[in-house]
Amino acid sequence: MTKTNTLFKLKIERPRNVKNDLLSGLTVALALVPEAVAFSFVAKVDPVIGLYAAFMMGLITAIFGGRPGMISGATGAVAVIFAPLMIELAQPGILPEGVTKEGYLFAAVILMGIFQMLFGIFKLGKFIRMVPHPVMLGFVNGLAIIIFKSQFEMFYVGHGEDAHLLPGADLAFMGGMIALTMAISFFLPKLTKAVPATLAGIVVVTVLSLVFDKMGIHTSRNVLDFVQGMDPTKETIAAGFPTFGIPEVSFSWENLKLILPYSALAAAVGLIESLMTLTLVDEITETRGRGNKECIGQGLANLVNGFFGGMGGCAMIGQSMINIRGGGRGRLSGISAAMFLLLILLVAAPLVEIIPLAALVGVMFMVVIGTFEWSSLRLFGSVPKMDIFIIILVSVVTVLHDLAIAVLVGIIVSALAFAWEHGKKIHAKIDKAENGAKIYKLESALFFGSAQSFKDLFDPLNDPQDVVIDFEKARVYDHSAIEAINNITERYADQGKFLHLLNLSPECQELLDKAENIVELSVIEDLDWHIADDRLA
């Protein structure tokens, strides 16, 4: 294998089987609980709404989505978008009598789902292929940093302004438990792959913590402590089965204007994060997911969320990595994760509530290590500086703003850099015909990025009476190119000289034909040469 191939060898070798899918699904379900609770508070809603969302998103996308093995649930990206809506609705006098703010949230999630389904129905998911590889690397690295930062709140007691760091002894004990979880996750696969290492780490650390608590040596903060730290009124994470209900929001233009911006933005962010995660899982597993089908699956899941009391969501990079690295490859892994989560809500909440936060943080730290593309650090000096800049830019924007903006910024900068580089490369070989005409044999593409360089190639003042532009090795791509040709034609006409176009491709001819009503091309045909404008030949 060459050095270049080694840099980008991301595939995780792990056979697909029912046991791996089930055990990996259980691990994912345990990791979903604290994140769903945390994101619920970000969105200013009851934790049960976030847990319902995690269950429904995971189940429906696992069945109907386009990427087996990818995990969806309640996410911070979507929660952050809906949070301002919930804050606005909480203001006095905003809501009609008897109407809850959750009703507006559920209506917004339904509209979000409709947008996403339409995106998939019209097969727009294919545009994820336009994301350059440096943008993907920046997205992955930025996401790893976000996951890493999101774990810091586990080291604090309380919520909001009242939060404070754990005392020294508690912090050291938690650090030790985190290290133990990570050590088991790292070394156990070298001994056996019979069970997912992350699940084994959670079980071992939980048992040890219970033993320490029983002996009075130390008390570990667990999932229930985390929930009660955010909402002291919560006694348990247990809940019943989600029930169907139409959001109590009147259908009016005012309400539509209120929720539409949030729904549209959440739909866009959710799809970008989901499709980027899909692409990453494709790369890791060396398989191919179906982007358009995933859009429909995400939309359907959010649609159901709105009618069954969930806050909506999208694909989750962290949980997807837990699943893939734990051996989850098939749809059964996502389905089992959702069903285990439902089982936790219905009957097994007491078992999950005793899991130490240290175990879950250790699992997520291993996800961070596995998610960050360390090979990108070795690219300095090996790839163009612009690619390095884009990787860093996307990473920084992902951390400071959000994934959708980061990806859009990366694509725009990549496109501009591509246009700039190719715009500089246009040139022409100059030849002379027997009758004295000067021939510019154009090479490269003529488009908005190269239009100015194209115009600088010519010398109307000193060129002979007849000038030929040979397009055999060039193509005309856009209106800027047509305008550039028109500009050159007028410059030669001002000198009383004639410009001829040779070897225009059928596509170029068609483009020029369509532009005749927009710009006036003063191209003169010379029937003696038979090399003038091919459209007139």
Domain boundary among 347, 374, 407: 407
The answer to whether 277 and 287 have CB atoms below 8 angstroms apart is no
Which pLDDT does position 117 carry in this prediction?
96
Rounded average pLDDT over 390-416: 85
Q: Which of 500, 493, 488 is closest to 531 using CA atoms?
A: 500
Domain identity same for 80 and 192: yes
Residue 124 in domain: yes
Q: How far is CA 145 from CA 171, 269, 403, 473, in A?
A: 21, 18, 12, 46
**Is residue 477 exposed (0-12), middle (13-18) or buried (19+ Cβ within 10 Å)?**
middle
pLDDT band for position 6 (50/70/90)?
very low
Q: What is the pLDDT of residues 166-182, one digit of tens each?
A: 888 888 999 999 999 99
Which pLDDT does position 54 carry in this prediction?
94
520 pLDDT above the threshold of 60: no
Which pLDDT does position 353 carry in this prediction?
84
Q: Could you give the percent of the chain with pLDDT greater than 90?
A: 24
pLDDT band for position 205 (50/70/90)?
very high
Which pLDDT does position 15 carry in this prediction?
55
533 pLDDT above the threshold of 60: no
Query: Angle of helix 317-325 relative to helix 253-285, nearest 10 degrees?
Result: 30
Which pLDDT does position 338 carry in this prediction?
95
Rounded average pLDDT over 245-263: 87
Domain identity same for 74 and 122: yes
The Cα 355–Cα 202 span in angstroms is 7
Q: What value, to the nearest 5°, has the Cα angle with vertex 420 and ends 418 and 422?
A: 65
pLDDT band for position 384 (50/70/90)?
confident
Greater model confidence, 192 or 338: 338
Domain identity same for 486 and 401: no
Domain identity same for 464 and 361: no
pTM of the model: 0.68
Greater model confidence, 363 or 417: 417
Residues in the chain: 537
525 pLDDT above the threshold of 70: no
The Cα 419–Cα 414 span in angstroms is 9
Greater model confidence, 341 or 418: 341
Domain boundary among 350, 379, 407: 407
Residue 137 in domain: yes
Rounded average pLDDT over 384-403: 86
Please give the helix or strand (H or E) that residue 317 lies within, else none.
helix 317-325
Domain identity same for 449 and 389: no
Residue 369 in domain: yes
Q: What is the mean pLDDT of the chain?
A: 83
5 pLDDT above the threshold of 80: no
Q: How far is CA 202 from CA 177, 209, 216, 329, in A?
A: 10, 11, 21, 21
127: helix, coil or strand?
helix
Domain identity same for 429 and 403: no
The Cα 44–Cα 34 span in angstroms is 15
Query: Angle of helix 133-150 relative to helix 385-400, nearest 10 degrees?
Result: 30
Rounded average pLDDT over 390-417: 85
Residue 502 in domain: yes
Rounded average pLDDT over 403-421: 84
Q: What is the pLDDT of residues 437-491, one digit of tens each?
A: 899 999 888 888 888 888 999 999 999 988 888 888 888 888 888 888 888 888 8
Residue 420 in domain: no
Domain boundary among 352, 372, 407: 407
210 pLDDT above the threshold of 60: yes
Residue 6 in domain: no
The Cα 197–Cα 184 span in angstroms is 6
Domain identity same for 37 and 123: yes
Domain identity same for 46 and 174: yes
Q: Which of 260-264, 362-366, 492-496 is predicted with the least confidence, judged by mean pLDDT?
A: 362-366
32 pLDDT above the threshold of 80: yes
Domain identity same for 384 and 431: no
Query: Angle of helix 331-343 relative to helix 47-64, nearest 10 degrees?
Result: 150
Count the domains in the chain. Answer: 2
Q: What is the pLDDT of residues 349-363, one digit of tens each?
A: 888 788 888 888 888
Domain identity same for 313 and 398: yes
Residue 257 in domain: yes
Q: Which of 46-55, 108-117, 376-385, 426-435 is predicted with the least confidence, judged by mean pLDDT?
A: 376-385
Domain identity same for 347 and 473: no
Rounded average pLDDT over 14-33: 82
Q: Which of 58, 68, 75 is closest to 290 using CA atoms?
A: 68
Rounded average pLDDT over 318-331: 86
Greater model confidence, 16 or 372: 372
Domain identity same for 265 and 119: yes
**Phi-psi region at 127: left, alpha or beta (left = phi > 0; alpha = psi -120 to 50):** alpha
Range of the domain at 468: 425-536
**Phi-psi region at 160: left, alpha or beta (left = phi > 0; alpha = psi -120 to 50):** left
Q: What is the pLDDT of residues 55-102, one digit of tens each?
A: 999 999 999 999 999 999 998 778 878 888 888 887 877 777 767 888
Q: What is the CATH number of the domain that holds 500?
A: 3.30.750.24
Residue 80 in domain: yes
511 pLDDT above the threshold of 70: no
The answer to whether 121 and 306 have CB atoms below 8 angstroms apart is no
Number of H helices, E strands in the chain: 20, 8
Q: Which of 6-10, 137-141, 303-307, 389-393 is predicted with the least confidence, judged by mean pLDDT?
A: 6-10
Rounded average pLDDT over 109-116: 96
